[in-house]
Structure 1
Amino acid sequence: MSTTTKGCEVLPATSVDEAVRALADLGDRGAALAAGTWVMRSSLRGEDLRPRYVSLNGIAELRATESGEEVSLGALTTHTDLASRELPAALAGLVGAAGQSAFPQVRNVATLGGNIGATGFAEADLVPALLALDARLETASLRGRATVPLGEYLPERAQRPADEIVVRALVAAPATRRSAFARLTVRGGGEYAIANVCVCVDLDPDGVVSAARVAIGSVEPVARLSHAAVDALVGNRPSAAAGEEAGRLAAADCTPRDGLDAPGWYRREVLPSLVRRACAELAV
């Protein structure tokens, strides 16, 4: 049975296949709906609501989480759930991002899949953490299941097929991997991030960084990896000093956006200190 809210019809789905078929039938007239924390603010962004939404909340598969050498996180996993789970040390940056984002009331309902799929939401905290962890997404559509790297998915979100949904994120968690997250807001907790970063490193037996990924969010319209920052980390032990240099290289390599919360130059200016904070945490 469908429901109506704010003039929109919400259609329930109880399986991934059912949701995909409903979205295919609706085409551009519909969209998937989970917690709705981004959709509810559409009018504030000057965007029209879709006539119909397909609710994913009744799909048990999207809530499943499995932990091992590879962690599978269902798209309906909430920020609160992520922040409270005992996940491998490799995912500490993701756990930190989930626990710091927004307010507790929002974290209780906002989902991993919603954070990933929210086109135009540059400030999403989970996205740079997942990017740094080299996450892959399992998607479902009428064409079947597929796996796509998050870094490829993000720039083309608005052009993805109308019948496609994100089922889960897949993240490798080797014992030698560590990650840390840092963010800056205007007034403290609960605000959108002016800038957020996640640093992920693989350590050799001597504690030296053998590989690294540095992801920057909220600075540019779409979160991305900073390849320039890696040079300051590989071959060194994690440290605040190495992080400061990595952040400086990342800042020099970005084209920051202006916004009501902060001008672009300020977003660039704070990057070295944020990457330093994340790397200092990795050095502990």
Structure 2
Amino acid sequence: MTAPTHLARPRVEVPGSVDEAVRRLAELGPDGAALAGGTWLMRSPTPPGTFVSLHRIAELRGVAAGTWGALTTHAELAAAPLPPALRALGTAARTSAFPQVRNVATLGGNLNARGFAEADLVPALLALDAGVEVATAAGRHRIGVDGYLRSAHGDTTDPAAVLVSVTASAPAGRRSGYARLTVRGGGEYALVSVAISADLDEAGVASAVRVAVGSVEARARRCPEAEAALAGTTLDEAAARAAGLAAAAVLTPRDDLLAPGWYRLEVLPAVFARAAADCLTDPATDHDTGEAP
């Protein structure tokens, strides 16, 4: 008879400040990990010996105009009165996973989840040209989300670094939107996700377009080809579908148990059309239920 497997119970430490958390993570090295919502970290088959919980650090909480603490939950983002320029982030938070997860999953955790191609907030933040503040033993610095993702997920960042906050600007005339496609509906990982941000002039013509595609490749990324296809248009359905085709022509899709790569490319134009429509949605008439179609 095979003896039962007993997993070691990790320690949990609860620092009271960012500096204390950074110092402790540096001391622990690979045997420690920062703990926020835990919705992704807890899935690891090899958990660290010590979790450094960030929950008592007040500095990591709070939602201000265009700035969010790293412990801001998806539910808090979904409930925040975001301007049209930041709508993509609200839609991504509101339609991700299901209520139980949205209540605990955090903004910082979504950015730091390695190997999580379906992270909903990441393409939205890329399209919004967001930046982050990071605390390390050497001090604090700011970096764009794109650069942060390349370093954090490429294992070149300081393992003791703590993401403090995320910031995005909201100029007048800018609109953004987000859409995702799942197998059966809300509560599932996205097969494809698209975020679009653009400055619209008085005639509704788009410029300064930023597009990010998630879940198709191993990590969400900007798509310049789709941005070029949308520039100078009114973000109408035909233009959005053309942008989706442009994206499909350059992306290298992944296969997994939920969908083959070819299917992800096939549905891109439709998801682009929905993301563009979300950009143009009037908040006064928005009756989003919080679940993905």
Q: Shift of the alpha carbon at 1:222?
A: 0.7
Which residue is 1:164 aligned to? Answer: 161
Aligned residue type for 1:186 = V
1:173-219 Cα shifts (integer Å, max 9, x gaps): 11111111000111111000011110111112322112101100010
**Amino acid paired to 1:65:** V
Q: Tell me how far apart the structure 1 counterparts of residues 89 and 267 of structure 2 sit (CA, whole Å).
A: 21
Question: For residues 200 and 275 of structure 1, what CA distance do their matches in structure 2 show?
Answer: 12
For 1:118, the equivalent position in structure 2 comes to 113
Residue 66 (structure 1) shift: 1.3
Q: How does 1:248-259 map to 2 (within 5 A)?
A: 248-259=245-256
Contact 1:239 1:282 in 2 (8 A): no
Contact 1:237 1:283 in 2 (8 A): no
Q: Distance in 2 between matches of 1:218 and 1:154?
A: 15
Distance, in Å, in 1 between the alignment partners of 2:257 and 2:169 is: 37
One-letter amino acid of the counterpart of residue 89, structure 1: P
Instruction: Indicate which of 185, 188, 192 corresponds to 2:189.
Output: 192
Q: Who is 1:94 aligned against?
A: 89
Preserved CA contact (<8 Å) 1:242 1:279: no
Q: Aligned ranges for residues 17-28 of structure 1 at < 5 Å?
A: 17-28=19-30
Q: Distance in 1 between matches of 2:71 and 2:81?
A: 18
2:223 is equivalent to residue 226 of structure 1? yes
1:39 to 14, 19, 41: 41
Shift >4 Å, 4+ stretches: none
Q: Once the two structures are superposed, what CA deviation does each residue of 1:73-95 show, in whole Å capped at 9, x if it has no partner?
A: 11000000000011221111110
Which residue pairs with 1:57 in the alignment? 55
**Sequence identity (%):** 55
Residue number in structure 2 paired with 1:154: 149
- Equivalent residue runs for 1:229-248 within 5 Å: 229-248=226-245
Cα separation, 2, equivalents of 1:282 and 1:113: 24
AA of the residue aligned to 1:80: A
Change (3 A) 1:272 1:194: same
**Contact conserved, 1:239 with 1:283, CA < 8 A, in 2?**
no
| Preserved contact between residue 198 and residue 278 of structure 1 (Cα < 8 Å) | yes
The one-letter code of the counterpart of 2:177 is: A
Describe the shift of the 1:176–1:270 C-alpha distance in structure 2 as closer, same or farther (beyond 3 A): same
- Residue 262 in 1 paired to residue 259 in 2? yes
Identify if the C-alpha distance between structure 1 residues 188 and 163 changes in structure 2 by more than 3 Å, giving closer, same or farther.
same
Q: Return the alpha-carbon distance in structure 2 between the equivalents of residues 147 and 282 of structure 1.
A: 28
Aligned to 1:212: 209
Contact 1:199 1:215 in 2 (8 A): yes
Report the residue type matching 2:197 in the other structure.
Answer: C
Given residue 228 of structure 2, which amino acid in structure 1 is its aligned partner?
D
Provide the residue aligned with 1:132 in structure 2. 127
State the shift of 1:282 in Å: 2.8
Which amino acid is 2:83 matched to?
P
Instruction: Tell me if structure 2 keeps the 8 A contact 1:199–1:212.
Output: yes
Given that 1:155 and 1:222 are in contact with CA atoms closer than 8 Å, whether structure 2 keeps it comes out as no
* C-alpha distance in 1 between matches for 2:279 and 2:32: 43
Q: Which runs of 5+ in 1 are unaligned?
A: none
Deviates more, 1:192-201 or 1:203-212: 203-212
Counterparts of 2:76 and 2:102 in 1: how far apart (Å)?
A: 8
What count of residue pairs does the alignment treat as equivalent? 273
Are the aligned partners of 2:178 and 2:279 in contact in 1 as well (CA < 8 Å)? Answer: no
Alpha-carbon deviation of 1:283? 3.9
The unaligned stretches of length 5 or more in structure 2 are 1-6, 282-293
Give the 3-state SS of the residue equivalent to 2:229 in structure 1: coil
| CA RMSD in angstroms, aligned pairs only | 1.2
Measure the CA separation in 2 of the matches of 1:236 and 1:270.
21
Q: Distance in 2 between matches of 1:224 and 1:281?
A: 20
TM-score by length of 1: 0.94
Question: Do the aligned partners of 1:32 and 1:54 also contact (CA within 8 Å) in 2?
Answer: yes
